[in-house]
């Protein structure tokens, strides 16, 4: 699919999408926008940034750019090795992956099944990660699956234990890039290593697909260090960009006169709160 079709995926789920000359922007969280797709470095003009920040409206925005245009860096986790196999994995992951493949067949399945059975895995994943159970409601999940089913180049793959869905990943193929766009796993089956099996099976399968030039497993984050380590051990590499985070100019006085200090203080007092940790990270790295 094209970048515009990928943007339509978010739009049809009720999210705000803004198109500027540099790229599309989508509201991946309330009042926060990210460039789309995030594997591509962009250089929006000040007027484009103002259009998103003031017209969104948006409290802030985030986008990857060329390394010489930012003092901050962010790593995108990618894999493009056509010879990807067990030799690509870190030694600590090879045994777990082999056991996972022995226990968990990996195969593509349909979004109708995912709509019926996937939300339970979402809820269990949210609980393990100490995220709000309303991060994805049942209604939002049904809409997510419906739209993904209707648009081209969305796929869902699963790892199974004794006929039960143990983990799944939703992939979006955008202009030759295959994104791990969304995924969850069942707590009771984690000891079978379904995530190792799924990542390995999907990566190997998609790198044999001539339509796919590279897989992207998302951006690194200080809030998901253990998950990022898992991806690196599974043979993914860091592709480094400059990172730009922009704050709405109308909020700068609030941040400057004590608001920012309050957010950082609350984040330190509540280390398990994803919302406050992200807010603190956002302010620390904001540049425009």
Give pLDDT, residue 237. Answer: 95
Tell me whether residue 76 is exposed, middle or buried, using C-beta atoms within 10 angstroms of its C-beta: 0 to 12, 13 to 18, 19 or more.
buried
pLDDT digits (tens, 9 = 90+) for 232-241: 999 999 999 9
pLDDT digits (tens, 9 = 90+) for 94-108: 999 999 999 999 999
Q: What is the dihedral of CA 181, 113, 163, 135, to 10 degrees?
A: 50
User: 171, 153 in Cβ contact below 8 A?
Assistant: no
Closest to 58 (Cα-Cα) out of 20, 17, 22, 23: 17
Query: Alpha helix (H) ranges present in 56-179?
Result: 91-103, 111-128, 138-150
Cα–Cα distance, 248 to 53 (Å, whole number): 5
Give pLDDT, residue 142. Answer: 96
User: 148, 111 in Cβ contact below 8 A?
Assistant: yes
Cα–Cα distance, 53 to 252 (Å, whole number): 12
Structure tokens at 143: 């809409």
Give pLDDT, residue 288. Answer: 45
User: 159, 166 in Cβ contact below 8 A?
Assistant: yes
Domains in the chain, CATH or no CATH each: 1-65 (no CATH), 77-240 (3.40.630.30), 253-288 (no CATH)
Give pLDDT, residue 262. Answer: 63
Closest to 206 (Cα-Cα) out of 97, 113, 76, 84: 84
Starting at the edge strand that comes first in sequence, how are the strands of the sheet with 17-19 ordered? 17-19, 24-29, 32-36, 60-65, 237-247, 73-79, 214-219, 177-185, 164-174, 154-161, 106-109
The confidence band for 226, taking pLDDT boundaries of 50, 70 and 90, is confident
70: pLDDT strictly greater than 70: yes
The confidence band for 267, taking pLDDT boundaries of 50, 70 and 90, is low
Cα–Cα distance, 24 to 10 (Å, whole number): 11
**What residue has token string 């497993």?**
217
Closest to 78 (Cα-Cα) out of 208, 221, 214: 214
């Amino acid at each position: 699919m094209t970048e515009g079709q990928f943007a339509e995926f978010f739009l049809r789920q009720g999210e705000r999408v803004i198109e500027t000359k540099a790229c599309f922007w989508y509201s991946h969280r309330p009042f926060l926008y990210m460039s789309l797709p995030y594997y591509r470095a962009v250089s929006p003009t000040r007027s484009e940034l103002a259009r998103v920040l003031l017209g969104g409206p948006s409290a802030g925005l985030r986008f990857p750019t060329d390394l010489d245009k930012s003092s901050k860096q962010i790593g995108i986790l990618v894999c493009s090795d056509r010879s990807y196999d067990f030799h690509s994995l870190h030694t600590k992951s090879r045994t777990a992956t082999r056991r996972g493949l022995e226990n968990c067949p990996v195969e593509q399945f349909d979004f109708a099944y995912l709509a019926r059975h996937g939300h339970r895995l979402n809820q269990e994943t949210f609980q393990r990660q100490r995220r709000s159970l309303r991060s994805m409601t049942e209604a939002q999940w049904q809409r997510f699956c419906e739209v993904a089913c209707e648009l081209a180049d969305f796929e869902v793959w699963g790892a199974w234990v004794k006929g039960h869905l143990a983990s799944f990943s939703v992939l979006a193929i955008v202009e030759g890039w295959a994104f791990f766009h969304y995924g969850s796993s069942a707590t009771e089956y984690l000891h079978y290593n379904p995530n190792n099996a799924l990542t390995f099976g999907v990566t190997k399968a998609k790198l044999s697909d001539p339509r796919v030039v590279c897989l992207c497993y998302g951006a690194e984050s200080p809030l998901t260090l253990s998950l990022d380590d898992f991806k690196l051990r599974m043979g993914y590499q860091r592709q480094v960009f400059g990172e730009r985070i922009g704050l709405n100019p109308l909020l700068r006085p609030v941040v400057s006169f004590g608001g920012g200090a309050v957010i950082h203080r609350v984040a330190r007092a509540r280390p398990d709160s994803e919302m406050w940790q992200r807010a603190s990270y956002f302010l620390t790295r904001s540049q425009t």
